[in-house]
Amino acid sequence: MDLERHADPKPSDATLILADWAVDPEAVVSVCAARDQKSALHLVVPAWLHGLDWAGDPWASVPCARRQLERIVELCLTAGLQVESAEVGDPDPLDAIGDAVRTRHVGEIMLFARGRHVAAAHPLSVARRAERLTGLPVTGVATGSGSRPKRRRFLAGAHCAPATQVRY
């Protein structure tokens, strides 16, 4: 997939915000608010599959992504940020970026994720691969987890669903 031809002679002020559903939504909005508040934001939360989830239903993370998207949009509007579009994206973050870049004119991409996905030094990071794929500048922002710790998520059940107690 070649998206490098996306680069238009006229630059865009719009920013594509790609936020993992497992990161802290307040951190996403605070970084966006600290930047230029006048540019339009296109929000995409991919239904990203973490850990062993890739072996199961590829769309199992859609409810988690939808809740994250709603929370980020709510926080952005409260902070006075201009949200031009918001959607849940493909489970593969690079496909989600590709879909968004094909349908919107943006000047940069901000990727909010955990660990190696945003590390510029890691050759297979999502940030580096997105930059090569689109030809757009990608800023990777490492954020903490916005959901429960991994051990509790595993013991509590599926993804971001609230833990329920089973009584016998």
| Higher-scoring residue by pLDDT: 156, 29 | 29
Mean pLDDT of 56-69: 85
Measured between its terminal Cα atoms, the distance across the chain in Å is 52
Strand segments, DSSP code E, in the chain are 15-19, 41-46, 83-89, 108-113, 138-142
Measured over the CA atoms of residue 98, residue 55, residue 51 and residue 58, the dihedral's sign is: positive
Supply angle C-alpha 152, 29, 65, rounded to 5: 45
In this structure, is residue 162 part of a structural domain?
no
**Which domain covers residue 109, as residue numbers?**
8-156
pLDDT recorded at residue 57: 72
Residue 69 to residue 52: CA distance in whole angstroms: 23
In this structure, is residue 119 part of a structural domain?
yes
Which amino acid, 44?
A: V
Query: Going by DSSP bridges, is the β-strand pair 108-113/15-19 parallel, antiparallel, or unpaired?
Result: parallel
In this structure, is residue 148 part of a structural domain?
yes
Q: Which of 80-84, 109-113, 118-122 has the lowest mean pLDDT?
A: 118-122
In this structure, is residue 164 part of a structural domain?
no
Query: Tokens standing for 113?
Result: 């994720």
In this structure, is residue 141 part of a structural domain?
yes
Query: Tokens standing for 45?
Result: 């939360």
CATH number of the domain within which 61 lies: 3.40.50.620
Q: Choose among 111, 117, 112, 113: nearest CA to 137.
A: 111
Instruction: Answer left, alpha or beta for residue 115, where phi above 0 means left and psi between -120 and 50 means alpha.
Output: left
Domain count, the chain: 1
Query: Tokens standing for 7?
Result: 């680069």
pLDDT recorded at residue 117: 55
